[in-house]
Copies of this chain bind each other. A is one copy, B any other.
Amino acid sequence: MGITLEKLSERLELKFSGYGETILTHVCGLENINQGGLSYITNPNELANLPTPAGIFDSRKRQLSDIEISPQAAIIVPSDLKSKSHNLLFSDDPMLHHCLAAEILHPGTTRSQKISVQANLGDNVKLGKNVTIDGCAVVYDNVSIGDNTVIHAGTVIMNGSTIGNDCLIYPNVTIREESSIGNRVILHPGVVIGADGFGFFQRDGKNLKIPQVGGVVIEDDVEIGANTTIDRARFTQTVIGRGSKLDNLIHIAHNVELGEDSLIAAQSGIAGSTKTGSHLMMGGQSGVRDNLVLGSKVTLLARTLVTSKTNDNEIVAGMPSRPLHVWRKVQALINSLDSLFKRIKRLEDSQKEENKG
């Protein structure tokens, strides 16, 4: 358990200073660094906010050498930073290397330890090399699963779905029939891919179901949070663009096409047939109406509800959504309403005075 500073520096291809035999066991933040810990600093100015050894925050500007940490710990620092008092790894991108180190120090956090196939496999299931399927996972007929993919316990993959290589499918996920999942996709527990879109029409006051015979495409490098649901399209495909990351308890309706590299925070939703550009950012509990087109690099603050077409690079807030500077002005005006009413009262009173006079 653990790896020496020297070995880690070799694996990360970074130079180090300090005691190479230091054994590192875990990644951590600077505020809780302890024996075996590997932390990082992206900016030397961060040091000003470091806790003192006594745990009391100190607002004086300090140097790295001021910090007392365990001699059995290490810090990844910008390449130009100097310090003789600590074990250091030098990087042009300390955050990136800290993440890479985390994968080395915590291999078990993203993999099932147990490689056993007690799965319920249907007919004509195609498995790549080195596939893991845990107990009580159920794979229906005509499913294809790529190399190195891990399917955890309790997950159900229905007929004709395709899963790519190097995917990590956590427990109790449901993938409905004919879904297409790319490579390096992570689905957290309870995710539902490909449930029927919400489509009904009324005849004589009764709701009749509009069949949802389309599918879902989850492109490469997508990650989807716990209990999030992505509905299948009516005729065509609901698409989650490459590299997009969705948090927990999100709803993506039928026929949505989400652009690449988007980030959607928890409990947000996108209604049916809306299409977004790349790099959409949605704050928590936000939403987008149906049948809209959003440009690329659109940002929604938390709890925003977008109800109309939004152009590239717009930042919007509120319900209904307004450009951020407008929303802020509106909030300020609302906060001033009380004084406004008083000013009007004053005007009216003085006018009455005049009329008397």
Q: Which residue of B lies closest to A210 (CB)?
A: B99
Which of A112, A118, A210, A227 is most buried by chain B, counting CB atoms within 10 A of its CB?
A227
A48-56, A63-71, A82-90, A189-197 - the one binding chain B:
A189-197
Q: Report B-chain residues with C-beta under 8 Å of the C-beta of A302.
A: 271, 287, 289, 305, 307
CA distance A170 to B231 in the complex (A): 14
**A 277-298 contacts with B by CB, 8 A:** 279, 284-285, 287, 289
State the main secondary structure of chain A at its contact with B: loop
Contacting residue for A195 out of B122, B170, B234, B261, CB 8 A: B170
A18 close to chain B: CB less than 8 A: no
Contacting residue for A153 out of B156, B177, B205, B211, CB 8 A: B156
CA distance A99 to B307 in the complex (A): 29
A9-17, A73-81, A308-316, A343-351 - the one binding chain B:
A343-351
A8 close to chain B: CB less than 8 A: no
A161 close to chain B: CB less than 8 A: no
A303 close to chain B: CB less than 8 A: yes
A180 close to chain B: CB less than 8 A: no
With both chains docked as a complex, state the minimum distance between the C-beta of A327 and any C-beta of chain B, in angstroms: 10
Contacting residue for A27 out of B155, B206, B235, B331, CB 8 A: B235
6 tightest A-B CB contacts, nearest first: A102-B211, A174-B189, A138-B153, A156-B171, A120-B135, A192-B226
6 cross-chain CB contacts under 8 A: A138-B171, A158-B171, A189-B192, A207-B261, A319-B319, A347-B351
